[in-house]
Each structure stands twice: as C-alpha cells, then as structure tokens.
Amino acid sequence: MDPAEVVWFAAALDLLVKYSKRAGCVVPSSVPTVRSELQTFLDSRADSLADATTRPPRVAVLHPDGEWIDVEEAAQMLGVSADAVRKSCRTGRFVGVARKWRGRWLVPAESLELHAGGKGM
C-alpha cells in the first residue's frame, strides 16, 4: 500500500472518531488499534518517504483535536510574516501547543481565531 494512501486512511479514521464523538455515537473499540497499526506502517516507511522530492500541499490539516493550519496560511490570516508565526510556534504563544508534522509547523485554528480576534501576537 502506498504511504500516501495510508495517510489518507489515518486522517479519515481520525475524522470518523471526531464526528462520531461529536454526534454522541460510540466509537468502536478497535479504532485505536487500527489507527496505531496505520501509524506503525507509516513509521516503518519513513526512510522511503524521506527521499520524496515533492512537498505536501499547503492545506488545512484536520486533526482529532480540531483544525490545524500551516504557517503560511496562519501568517496570511494574522497579517504577519511566516517567520513571525514560526517564532510564535517555537515560543509557545499559541493556545493548545503548535506542533510539527513532517517538518512543518501546524497551528491550532482556535489559536489563530484568538489572535486574529484582537489579542495579537
């Protein structure tokens, strides 16, 4: 199976859990095991992914905890440079810790809403 497909399935599974919980549905007990196995597969393929020359698309990434925005989009939303957003990520200025995914900072959308709403960086 192509690692990109596994990433897609893992993201779909994360969304299933998120929306099931939101709707008050019971999440099957096998979901965490399946998600863990998908992650194990991806981790085992990390070396083969390291040789890839294409960058992942700049998009909002959905995470079970909420929506995550990449640095460039966050900078546009806040009216600052991407470097200013990266610095804020490193210094912990965003609510619900910003995190790195595949070497790129992702910022919680809820944090951006707070900063864009007048709280500033």
pLDDT in tens, 19-68: 888 889 988 889 889 888 888 887 777 655 454 444 444 444 444 556 77
CA dist 27 and 83 (Å) reads 39
CATH code of the domain in which 103 resides: 1.10.10
Q: Are residues 32 and 67 in the same domain?
A: no
Q: Is residue 55 part of a domain?
A: no
Convert the pLDDT of each residue in 70-103 to its tens digit. Answer: 888 888 888 889 898 888 887 777 655 677 777 7
CB atoms within 10 A of CB 113: 12
Extract the tokens encoding 114.
């707070």
Question: Is the distance from CB of 67 to CB of 60 less than 8 angstroms?
Answer: yes
Q: Is residue 39 part of a domain?
A: yes
Q: Are residues 39 and 80 in the same domain?
A: no
Task: State the residue range of the domain holding 9.
Answer: 3-50
**What pTM was computed for the model?**
0.41
Q: Is residue 108 part of a domain?
A: yes
